[in-house]
Amino acid sequence: MADVATRPVSGRPDFSKVSFGALRRYYVGEFGASTANNLAYRGAVAIWVVTTVIQPMVSIVVWRTVAGPAGEVNGFTSAEFVTYFAITMLVDHLTFIWLMWEFEWRIRTGAMSPLLLRPIHPIHKDVCDNLSYKVIGLVGVLPAMVLLVIGFGGDVSGIGVVQVLTFLPALVLAMAVRFLLEWVLALSAFWLTKVSALNNLYFSLFLFLSGSFAPLAVLPEAVRTLAHASPFPWIVSFPVEVALGRRTGAEVWVGYLAQLGWILVALVLLRVVWRRAVRVYSAVGS
């Protein structure tokens, strides 16, 4: 990172003295500012929402063709594929973050410096920005999900109150898992000049092992085993299967515990990597 000539702080910033009240006020103000910004650039948000819809639509067409009008693939009927990918679209929107690309720009331009000078950890700003985008985007994603189910003849007979109530905690935990893991991965920009190759590798693995490309049930056993040893299925496949009623009883609780376990792992990694990353950045140009 020798091309960055900036010295944002002397030593490592200390964010530990921020009170809960101050943090709450910060979240309210930052979320409001982020929402105003997203509304001002609503055209860009609309484009992102459209791209979110395209992938599940293509997946629905492909897997309905594979299953046939009256057939099935490993327990998934043509109608169930429709519902699976419609819900996957919602989960993907609510878990997606873009910071793996933005961090490179922050480091290269020195935009990280003012964030480190604030008394609040930069991750809180990113949480607000990310939540704001997701809330605004729901205006387009929710109707699109309903239209996909109706237009392609999805099967929602297995979705009831119990499924919705167990889906919501799984969704919130999935959001936390993905945000923390990808925020940690974004910190690689403190050491790497270009992170696009690493990001592409990550998202290739994510696409196949999370259940975004296809339900894990239709993939080979070896791929399913590899997937469940990673955090990816707990971000997409698990909450979607819970919503469809394919995970019940003890399976749901095991899934919750797996999500909490990956959150703990991500928090430990975040603490360790963040300390080293800030030391590297503060030494640049000295």
Q: How far apart are CA 174 and CA 245, in angstroms?
A: 17
Q: Is the pLDDT at 214 greater than 60, yes or no?
A: yes
Q: Is the pLDDT at 48 greater than 80, yes or no?
A: no
Average pLDDT, the chain: 86
Instruction: Give the pair of three-digit tokens for residue 227.
Output: 């997937």
Q: How many domains are contained in the chain?
A: 1
- Does 1 reside within a domain? no
Comparing CA positions, the residue from 209, 182, 214 lying closest to residue 198 is 182
- The number of beta carbons lying within 10 Å of the beta carbon of residue 77 is 17
Q: Is the pLDDT at 134 greater than 60, yes or no?
A: yes
- Does 5 reside within a domain? no
Q: Is the pLDDT at 194 greater than 50, yes or no?
A: yes
Burial of 62 (0-12, 13-18, 19+ CB in 10 A): middle
Q: How far apart are CA 263 and CA 87, in angstroms?
A: 23
Q: Cα dihedral sign for 6, 7, 9, 13? A: positive
**For residue 131, what are the domain limits?**
20-283
Instruction: Give the pair of three-digit tokens for residue 108.
Output: 């290269």
> In the prediction, which pLDDT does 94 show?
94
- Does 2 reside within a domain? no
Q: How far apart are CA 99 and CA 281, in angstroms?
A: 17
In the chain, what's the furthest Cα-to-Cα distance?
A: 68
> In the prediction, which pLDDT does 284 show?
47
Q: How far apart are CA 77 and CA 203, in angstroms?
A: 27
Q: Is the pLDDT at 22 greater than 90, yes or no?
A: no
What pTM, to 2 d.p., does this model score? 0.87
Burial of 2 (0-12, 13-18, 19+ CB in 10 A): exposed
> In the prediction, which pLDDT does 46 show?
77
Comparing CA positions, the residue from 180, 188, 147 lying closest to residue 53 is 147
Q: Is the pLDDT at 241 greater than 80, yes or no?
A: yes
Q: Residue 233 in contact with residue 227, Cβ under 8 Å? A: yes
**Residues whose CB falls within 8 Å of the CB of residue 49, separated by 6 or more in sequence, listed in order:** 93, 137, 140, 141, 144
- Does 4 reside within a domain? no
Q: How far apart are CA 146 and CA 156, in angstroms?
A: 11
Comparing CA positions, the residue from 122, 92, 106 lying closest to residue 15 is 122
- Does 162 reside within a domain? yes
Instruction: Give the pair of three-digit tokens for residue 128.
Output: 């607000």
- Does 12 reside within a domain? no
Mean pLDDT of 236-252: 94
- Does 51 reside within a domain? yes
Mean pLDDT of 53-81: 83
pLDDT digits (tens, 9 = 90+) for 72-119: 887 888 889 999 999 999 999 999 998 888 888 888 888 888 888 888
Q: Residue 281 in contact with residue 8, Cβ under 8 Å? A: yes
**Residues whose CB falls within 8 Å of the CB of residue 65, separated by 6 or more in sequence, listed in order:** none
> In the prediction, which pLDDT does 205 show?
92
Instruction: Give the pair of three-digit tokens for residue 87.
Output: 């819900």
Mean pLDDT of 248-270: 95
- Does 277 reside within a domain? yes
